[in-house]
Structure 1
Amino acid sequence: MTFENYPKQIFIGLSAIFVQLIYSTASIAAEPVMITVSKGFGLTLFASDLGDAKQLALGSNGTLFVGSYKEGTITALVDANQDGRVDKRYTIAKGLHYPEAIAFKDGDLYVAEDDRVLRFVDIESRLRRPGRPKEVYDRLPGNTKKSKRAMHFGPDGKLYIAIGSTCNVCEPETPFGSIIAIDVNTGESEQIVSGVRKVGAFDWSVKDKELWFSDLSRDWMGDNLPPDEINKVETVGSHYGFPYIHATDVIEPAYDKPENLKVVAPQYELPAHVAPMGLHFYRGEQFPERYRNQMFVAENGSWNRSSKVGYQIVMLEIEDKQVVKRSTVVSFLDGEFPVARPHSLITAPDGGMYISDDFKGNIYRLYYKNPQKNQSQDNE
């Protein structure tokens, strides 16, 4: 089954109503699949055929960059006429080792590959011929096949990189199982947090610039344990429990927690195995007021659970610096069939939101149908 024959305008969503998406394979008619979209929103297919599309980065001129894992490629997507569909695509690099983590700053594209960080200078003016990248850091740990990564520039101008543990449960060697911050000009680095298993994504809240991150808890403790985590950094150098404690109070039987180790509990617990690979604070104005500056999470889904959960985009509503509500905005799960595995999120130039799918290699565009109406009203 492929998504290549899907219409560009995929569907308009209505709350609690499934909308049919038709596809075909050769001359054989396939069963329709269902995707749910919250009332007032629509979803379109922005781009396809991108392999295992992972992290997204947005250029100053609106170019959408897509990192991959197995494909080893970095792709640039351009919507030249700004109609919500990709018009041109460029291969920035290929043959790299697991370049899933990318970031953009001051005209340059940064890529974490194996034990180094590469910089493609003035990339948006060189999409056809990007040239050879410059190495700006060479002290990342290897073993990128098992250690997943995420990367963004922080408000302080430093390059933050999440370096996942290489195991389901173990005592990882530093800097595995941590988030570090790098000064790309001097090469100096600092460990921001430790005691994490697999940080899928992180972002800074729009209003107070606090760093939030998601962490995938260990597998093989059953369908409902341990919960996946949403965490916040209040003190640099804090430890978040892995591998000794999962979520708030799930004790790891294989390892004893050191007596003097202070562990920071999660800000919010997600259901076990939803796999929060994407986390992004919405920075646009197209969505209604209640969605602005709120946290959106891409739940990549439950590969090892007896019945599937996740495979959706949720909004975590924050009040007084606490998560008070979790609501589904888009669900890609049709019964036990995942139509997509959403991985990363980023606010689009027009105020919509791009969503990467590492299952079928698609990029979706989430938008609000009528941004001119009263944005302060809730759209339940």
Structure 2
Amino acid sequence: MRGWKRIFCIIAVMLLPLFFTVSSQARPVILTVAKGFGVSLYASGLDDAKQLALGPEGTLFVSSGSSGRIIALSDDNHDGRVDRRYVIDRNLDWPQAMAFADGNLYVAQGRNILAYRKIEQRLRRPPRPQVVFRDLPLSSAQVAMSMAFSPDGQLYLAVGAGCNVCLPQAPLGSILALDLQQSEIRQVATGVRQVLGMDWSPQDNLLWFADDSREWMGDNLPADEINRLDIAGSHFGFPFIHGRSTLEPMFNRPAALNVSAPVYELPAHVSPAGVHFYRGQAFPPAYQQQLFVAEHGSDNRSSKVGYQLVMLTLAQNQVVKRSTIVSFLDGGFPVARPFAIITAPDGAMYISDDMKGNIYRLFYRAAENEQQESK
């Protein structure tokens, strides 16, 4: 584990400190975690670890934009630590969007979608990827993207606007549904700026996603957004309106434009990235099937906000509470930037950190103790 001398995992009992010793020279890093939870270092040395995808055999796939690598991590003895790592591909052009389905790993690469077939059976000698969707109609292949498979098997691709504030050329600033069999595209949502994570509710299969609002309107404006796609084709406001009520001074909202307002407003500049409904059983019932959000953290603000994993408690399809589960701010100093989140096979949760190239594992103490006693 490059750069880590050793790691101490101490269970927090409210929102109390969790101490990590990063090296023999550096002072301990302090995280805060919710009552009953613990955090351990699952893997390190992963460049700028961004998107995550999980295979049915428990292999965790991690993308790195800066190095162009796709790395597979395997916990062979199921002890919560990586035993083997494999380089699936290298020298790709910013492979930020990934998804897994039917034994195959899918990666957005430039204007194409690649598939690594039956990859979990071929980790030692990864196959050459197949191009399964060609020539996405993008004016730029360098915009922020994320993707995920819907419950009905379609591949959803979120494409960023590629600007702070502008009138993006379609399909920039939208969410697309790709039919890989027919090579067809549907635009299911427009008026978004930068969607780095999306997931479907286990209750009703509606799509939820976070949108990172524009910068340079002050410390407290505009709100970042949590959205739900109730009607295909909905417009979510960008660039005319941010959050529920912040009008954009550079562009007038068309009078006939019907905007779908956010389900919930996050504080300005927390920069939401990954969103994920927790589907495991290891966390207490109050955490199950709730929406977790990785707040990547502020760049352009006088004091730091975000840099944490939060849970949004839902009731009747509305957000009623936002709770910090893990904070990566140590006295106002960020020690990690959470990017993507996914439920592990044992019910823990993986969190990628694109600042230090780590994967953290969030677990619940009682469940962890029960698993150890059963071994």
Fold conserved between structures, TM > 0.5? yes
Q: Is the 8 A contact 2:32 2:326 kept in 1?
A: yes
Partner of residue 12, structure 2: 13
After superposition, the Cα gap between the structure-2 partners of 1:6 and 1:162, relative to the gap in structure 1 and judged at 3 Å, is farther
Asked if structure 1 preserves the Cα contact closer than 8 Å seen for 2:8 and 2:19, the reply is no
Alignment of 1:161-172 (within 5 A): 161-172=157-168
Q: Distance in 2 between matches of 1:246 and 1:44?
A: 37
Corresponding residue number in structure 2 for 1:207? 203
Determine which of 327, 331, 335 is the counterpart of 1:331. 327
Aligned with 1:290: secondary structure? Answer: helix
Give % identity. Answer: 55
Deviations 1:275-295 (A, max 9, x none): 110100001000000000000
* Alignment-mate amino acid for residue 339 of structure 1: V
Which residue of structure 1 lines up, in the alignment, with residue 141 of structure 2? 144
Q: What pairs with 1:1-380 in structure 2 (closer than 5 Å)? A: 4-24=3-23, 29-140=25-136, 141=138, 143-145=140-142, 147-371=143-367
Question: 1:245–1:312: structure 2 CA closer, same or farther, 3 Å change rule?
Answer: same
Choose 242-251 or 11-20, whichever is displaced more: 11-20
2:373 match: none
CA offsets 1:235-278 (integer angstroms, 9 cap, x no match): 00000000000000100000011111101110000000001101
Q: For 1:81 and 1:365, how far apart are their aligned partners in 2?
A: 16
Q: Residue type of the partner of 1:90?
A: Y
Specify the SS of the correspondent of 1:371. Answer: helix
Q: Quick one: structure 1 residues 372 and 109, their matched pair in 2 at CA, closer, same or farther if it must change by over 3 Å?
A: closer
2: distance between equivalents of 1:277 and 1:132?
29
Distance 2:351 2:8 in 1: 15
| Cα distance change on mapping 1:6 and 1:237 into 2, 3 Å | farther
CA distance in structure 2 between the aligned counterparts of 1:95 and 1:187, rounded to whole angstroms: 26
- State the AA in 2 paired with 1:367: F
Distance 1:101 1:362, change over 3 A: same
Question: Displacement of 1:19 after TM fit?
Answer: 2.5
**Alignment-mate amino acid for residue 353 of structure 1:** M
Deviations 1:22-56 (A, max 9, x none): 2226xxx3222210011111111000000111110
After superposition, the Cα gap between the structure-2 partners of 1:9 and 1:21, relative to the gap in structure 1 and judged at 3 Å, is closer
- Aligned mates of 2:2, 2:229 — CA distance in 1: 39
Q: Which runs of 4+ in 1 moved over 6 A?
A: none
Q: CA–CA distance in 2 between the matches of 1:245 and 1:57?
A: 33
Give the 3 Å change call, closer, same or farther, for CA 45–101 of structure 1 in structure 2.
same
| Matches of 1:65 and 1:207, distance apart in 2 | 27
- Alpha-carbon distance between aligned partners in 1 of 2:330 and 2:105, rounded to the nearest angstrom: 36
Amino acid at match of 2:48: D
The answer as to whether partners of 1:179 and 1:193 remain within 8 angstroms in 2 is yes
For residues 362 and 195 of structure 2, the distance between their equivalents in structure 1, rounded to whole angstroms, comes to 24
Amino acid at match of 2:84: K
Task: Name which of structure 1's ranges 10-19 and 127-136 shifts more when overlaid on structure 2.
Answer: 10-19
Deviation at 1:60, TM superposition (A): 1.0
How far residue 211 of structure 1 moved from its aligned partner, in angstroms, is 0.4
Aligned amino acid, residue 18 of structure 1:
P
Structure 2: how far apart are the matches of 1:3 and 1:214? 32
State the number of aligned residues: 369
Return 5+ residue gaps in structure 1 as ranges. 375-380
The residue identity in structure 2 corresponding to 1:22 is T
Partner of 1:378: none
For 1:144, the aligned partner's letter is A
Q: Report how far residue 189 of structure 1 moved.
A: 1.1
- 8 Å CA contact retained: 1:9, 1:45: no
Deviations 1:180-214 (A, max 9, x none): 01011111110010000001210001111110000
Deviation at 1:138, TM superposition (A): 1.4
Give the deviation of 1:303 after TM superposition.
1.2
Q: TM-score, normalised by structure 2?
A: 0.96
1:120 and 1:69 mapped to 2: Cα distance? 18
Amino acid at match of 1:4: G
